[in-house]
Structure 1
Amino acid sequence: MSSLLFVPANDERKFEKASSLPCSGIVIDLEDAIHAEHKRRARASLSELIPKHRNPKQKLYVRINGLHTAFWQDDLVEVVKIRPDGIIVPKAERDLHLLDEFLVGLETSHGLVENQMKLILILETAKALVDMEPILSSCPRIDSATIGMADLSADLGASWSDIVQQTPPLLIGLREKLALVSRKLGLKAPWDSVYMQFTDAEGLRRDAMIGKRLGFQGKHVIHPSQIDVVNSVYRVSKEEYEQANAIIAKIQGQGAVQMEGFLIDEPVVKRARQIIERYEAQEVTA
């Protein structure tokens, strides 16, 4: 996985185009991209939209409205019908038991296995970031998480640009914390937050490199022009793949060896295997 592109649920043209783009997955957005007056029509369109344009090589997610709204239950009723790869929950806090209980009933009525519908949480408030570990351990269907840096900036009374675009960027410790807590809890690696200025390719690249260095699995994007930049950062190169294979070959039958001035031991071998696995997975879906 490298890039997840957000697409409004009420724009069939954009979804059809997104299905042909080199992003790892698409997020059909029922939340911020849809005005309150159009929520019902947007969610009702899912059952028609998805079968027409779904690309089996891409993951498919749906971002529902937050649990603080009056829309999330109606969202889930329609979302479960299309069986996405996951549900993205914005402004996630400690009330996830409500969503979990509601989903159990829907899974039962649709003949699905309990906890089949996995969640990606977006942590977007100071409260959520302070309470990160209790939130991420509160529900067995949580798959991974991300930080909603734009909403978090607003919650803090700061500007997104001042936090993300200035040098050095601020709140890097929150990304570090998310990586550590996710690993501790056995969740999948986190997703990195969207970069709001889609015309700033170099800024996007610098921002994406932070997540890559922390072991994130990819980055959310809001514009097709951002896909190639994010993919180039997160995708394993042929050179990295060949180097990983060379490490595996070098250490065969030995506990530790030297290679090109580096000590090669079990942690290095473990990382090499991760690189090989990721490269082979991305080649299958290319």
Structure 2
Amino acid sequence: MSSLLFVPANDERKFAKASSLPCSGIVIDLEDAIHAQHKQVARASLSEIIPKYRNSKQKLYVRINGLHTPFWQDDLVEVVKIQPEGIIVPKAERDLHLIDECLVGLETSQGLKENHIKLMLILETAKALVDMEQILSSCARIDSATIGMADLSADLGTSWKDIVQQSPPLFIGLREQLALVSRKLGLNAPWDSVYMQFTDVEGLRRDAIISKRLGFQGKHVIHPSQIDIVNSVYRVSKEEYEEAKTILTKIEGHGAVQMEGLLIDEPVVKRARQIIERYEEQEVTA
């Protein structure tokens, strides 16, 4: 996984195009991209539009409206029908049991096993970030998380540009914490937040490099032009793959060896195996 592209739920043309793009997955957005008066029509169109263009090589997610709105329950009813890989919950805090309880009944009605549908949380308030571990451990459905920097900046009374685009970027420590907490709780690696200025190519690349170094699995994107940049940062290169294979060859039959001045022991071998696995996985889905 490298890039997840957000697409408005009421725009069939954009979803059709997204299904042909090299993103790892698509996020159908029922939240910010849809005006309140259009939400009912947008969610009702999911069962009609999604099957037309669904691509088996791409993961499908749906971002529902938050629990602070009157829309989230109706969202879940329609979303479960299309059985996405996951549901993205915005402005997630400690009331996730409400979604869990609702999904149990909906999964049963669709003949799905309990906890079939996973949750990806967006932590985007000061409260959520302070309570990060408690929130991420509050529900068995939680699969991964991301930090919503745009909403977080608004909550703090600053701007996304000041937090992310200016140098040095702020709150790198929050991303570090998310990576550590996710690992501690046995969740999948986190996703990095969208880079709002989609014409700032080098800014996007720098931001993606930071999250990759922290062990994130990929980045959310809001424009097709961002996909190749994010993929280029996150993809395992042929050179990295060949080096990983060489490491496994060198270590065979030895406890520890050196290669070009680098000590090769169990942690390095473990990482080499991860690189090989990811490379082979990305080649299959390419």
- TM-score when scaled to structure 2? 1.00
SS in structure 1 opposite 2:88?
A: strand
User: Gaps spanning 5+ residues in structure 1: where?
Assistant: none
The answer for the alignment partner of 1:264 in structure 2 is 264
1:107 aligns with 2:107: yes
The answer for the alignment partner of 1:148 in structure 2 is 148
Give the superposition deviation at 1:119.
0.5
In the alignment, residue 212 of structure 2 is paired with which amino acid?
Answer: K
- Over aligned residue pairs, what C-alpha RMSD do you find? 0.4
The answer for the alignment partner of 1:3 in structure 2 is 3
In the alignment, residue 67 of structure 1 is paired with which amino acid?
Answer: L
Report Cα offsets for 1:99-153 as digits up to 9, x if no partner: 0000001111111000000000000000000000000000001000000000000
The answer for the alignment partner of 1:75 in structure 2 is 75
In the alignment, residue 3 of structure 1 is paired with which amino acid?
Answer: S
The answer for the alignment partner of 1:57 in structure 2 is 57
The answer for the alignment partner of 1:170 in structure 2 is 170
The answer for the alignment partner of 1:98 in structure 2 is 98
SS in structure 1 opposite 2:62?
A: strand
CA distance in 2, matches of 1:159, 1:67: 24
In the alignment, residue 7 of structure 1 is paired with which amino acid?
Answer: V
Report Cα offsets for 1:63-117 as digits up to 9, x if no partner: 0000111000000000000000110000000000000000001111111000000
In the alignment, residue 71 of structure 2 is paired with which amino acid?
Answer: F
Report Cα offsets for 1:216-250 as digits up to 9, x if no partner: 00000000000000000000000000000000111
SS in structure 2 opposite 1:95?
A: coil
SS in structure 1 opposite 2:27?
A: strand
CA distance in 1, matches of 2:170, 2:124: 15
- TM-score when scaled to structure 1? 1.00
1:20 aligns with 2:57: no
SS in structure 1 opposite 2:55?
A: coil
Percent identity over paired residues = 87
CA distance in 1, matches of 2:24, 2:281: 11
Aligned pairs for 1:101-140 within 5 A? 101-140=101-140
Report Cα offsets for 1:236-286 as digits up to 9, x if no partner: 000000000000111001110000100000000000011011111111100
The answer for the alignment partner of 2:253 in structure 1 is 253
User: Gaps spanning 5+ residues in structure 2: where?
Assistant: none
In the alignment, residue 284 of structure 1 is paired with which amino acid?
Answer: V
SS in structure 2 opposite 1:61?
A: strand
CA distance in 2, matches of 1:145, 1:169: 20
SS in structure 2 opposite 1:164?
A: helix
Report Cα offsets for 1:149-193 as digits up to 9, x if no partner: 000000000110011011110010000000000000000000000
The answer for the alignment partner of 2:199 in structure 1 is 199
CA distance in 2, matches of 1:253, 1:91: 51
In the alignment, residue 225 of structure 2 is paired with which amino acid?
Answer: S
CA distance in 1, matches of 2:71, 2:281: 36
In the alignment, residue 131 of structure 1 is paired with which amino acid?
Answer: D
In the alignment, residue 216 of structure 2 is paired with which amino acid?
Answer: F
